[in-house]
Structure 1
Amino acid sequence: MLDALRMAFGTLTALPVPAPRRIDRRVAGGAMLLAPLAAVPLGVLGCLVLAGAAALGLPALAAAGLAVGTVALGSRGLHLDGLADTADGLAASYDRGRALAVMRTGDSGPSGVATLLLVLLVQCAALEGAVRAGHGVAALAVAVPAGRAAVSLYCARGIPSARQDGLGSTVAGAVPVPAAAAMLLGLAALSALAPGLAWWRGPLAVALGLLAATALLWRCLRRFGGITGDVLGAGVEIATAATLLALST
């Protein structure tokens, strides 16, 4: 469990943590299952920035942008990079090998840049709406771990890796389905306690966020034949955007 926590925080955040003593399938599965927990410090930091910006009287959109940017920097922009690369892969040739090669180059093409800008715009605009509605901090507190729950979903048993190397091959299928289901249900239950929100809004937003992530997963499985590290990042950003959108009013 300690190695799983170290891998989760070390992989999914920029927080300085000791390296895991060993990494195997069990540790990798535990790390991906604990992805929402690893997001908690990022969510707390983003909420503090959002509350501080509001206290300073900054415009709601500026406050939302600062909070979204803080969360992104807290993960080294890793998930945003994955989103851009996944978008480029989906927009590339229908040949699976060619699409995966495009994703591996690391350069962002027009599709990747446009998708990145669109998703960030949706996240910021949705969080701005939540701030104006008086529950911006609660919305961000729900959305950040909900977005990372997509990682646990994508790494559930039965979902293959698109490659034989890379992060995807290490974590694909490493999370037992019952454990993933329990984590998702627990996260939905905790979101019902978000202050300032009706008890049902948090769970509904989490469900809609994961539904959007599932749609992306289905598309990636058809195009790439499995998941990659980039697909994990794309799932995080799409789930976060959809969750924020569900809480924007």
Structure 2
Amino acid sequence: MAVGTLTALPVPPPRKIDSRVARGAMVLAPIAAVPLAALAGVIVYGGHALGLPALAVAGLAIGAVALASRGLHLDGLADTADGLGASYDRDRALEIMRRGDSGPTGVATLVLILIVQCGALSAGDAVTAVIGVLTGRCVLSLCCARGVPSARPEGLGATVAGSVPISLAALVFLLAAAASAAAPGLPWWRGPIAVTAGYAAAAFLLWRCTRRLGGITGDVLGACVEVATAAALLASV
């Protein structure tokens, strides 16, 4: 479920999706995203080795990750921004998010986040790319922690909402911070700060969406991934 949802890799779907499968998918999200992180790291390393412009290399890496994840999270970011910016009426906001098209608020948010991601990555290296991509997927366990409701009775949000015990979500964060402390080429503290920044950005957006929409949707999860990725990239350079 994690690989099939978060990447474009062709894998068979799970035989059934229950709370155990949903919990496992959200906890294993960063492991499922390792191929995406490796892809971004290889592109950045190769681009720098060839002497290509740093911003162009960053754009190629971010674009490759988006392509390899079917643009799922970027679509969620745009839809969430449109919903939050359209109306304080919860039902109308959710209806706008469901439509699938992007309005001015969604497009502007998408462009700004991509500018931040590419600008930050252009000042970093392959390790920066890996930390950013994986942190963005680590926060999914936070977004699906116990106590976080679903905004709708159906959809991806309803399947995974509240499926992860808080202790398990905290463990994912601690493991991510500890692993990033050992990242080569960075001071030991830089990686944990980047992971913490990603979590903080996702937590703020999660709080905002829960307050406005009544819970999470698949779009909100995607938005949290992209916002966390941008914050982690910024904090790691």
Same fold (TM over 0.5): yes
Q: TM-score range by the shorter chain?
A: over 0.9
Deviant stretches of 4+, over 6 Å: none
Shift, 1:57, TM fit: 1.5
In structure 1, the residue matched to 2:215 is 226
Shift, 1:61, TM fit: 0.5
Instruction: Give me the TM-score of the superposition, normalised by structure 1.
Output: 0.94
Given the alignment of the two structures, is residue 93 of structure 1 paired with residue 87 of structure 2, yes or no? yes
Given the alignment of the two structures, is residue 59 of structure 1 paired with residue 48 of structure 2, yes or no? no
Of 162, 170, 188 in structure 1, the residue corresponding to residue 159 of structure 2 is 170
Question: More displaced, 12-21 or 153-162?
Answer: 12-21
Distance (Å, rounded) in 2 between the aligned partners of 1:127 and 1:239: 14
Shift, 1:52, TM fit: 1.4
Seq. identity, %: 67
Distance (Å, rounded) in 2 between the aligned partners of 1:9 and 1:153: 18
Give the secondary-structure state (helix, strand or coil) at the position aligned to 2:8. Answer: coil
1:32-71 maps to which residues of 2 (within 5 A)?
A: 32-71=26-65
Give the secondary-structure state (helix, strand or coil) at the position aligned to 1:162. Answer: coil
In structure 2, the residue matched to 1:133 is none
Distance (Å, rounded) in 1 between the aligned partners of 2:192 and 2:51: 30
Give the secondary-structure state (helix, strand or coil) at the position aligned to 2:215. Answer: coil
Distance (Å, rounded) in 2 between the aligned partners of 1:232 and 1:155: 9
Q: Structure 1: give runs of 5+ residues left out of the alignment.
A: 1-6, 131-135
In structure 2, the residue matched to 1:119 is 113
Distance (Å, rounded) in 2 between the aligned partners of 1:14 and 1:83: 18
In structure 2, the residue matched to 1:4 is none
Distance (Å, rounded) in 1 between the aligned partners of 2:148 and 2:200: 16
- Contact 2:19–2:159 (8 Å) recurs in 1: yes
1:15-26 maps to which residues of 2 (within 5 A)?
A: 15-26=9-20
Q: Which amino acid aligns with 2:40?
A: G
Instruction: Give me the TM-score of the superposition, normalised by structure 2.
Output: 0.99
Shift, 1:191, TM fit: 0.5
Of 4, 7, 12 in structure 2, the residue corresponding to residue 13 of structure 1 is 7
In structure 1, the residue matched to 2:98 is 104
In structure 2, the residue matched to 1:79 is 73
Q: Deviations over 1:201-231 (max 9, x none)?
A: 1001100110011110111011100000000
In structure 2, the residue matched to 1:201 is 190
Distance (Å, rounded) in 2 between the aligned partners of 1:113 and 1:13: 23
Q: What is the aligned residue count?
A: 237
Cα-Cα RMSD? 0.7
- Contact 2:193–2:236 (8 Å) recurs in 1: no
Of 209, 228, 238 in structure 1, the residue corresponding to residue 227 of structure 2 is 238
Distance (Å, rounded) in 2 between the aligned partners of 1:168 and 1:19: 18
Given the alignment of the two structures, is residue 187 of structure 1 paired with residue 181 of structure 2, yes or no? no
Distance (Å, rounded) in 1 between the aligned partners of 2:208 and 2:127: 31
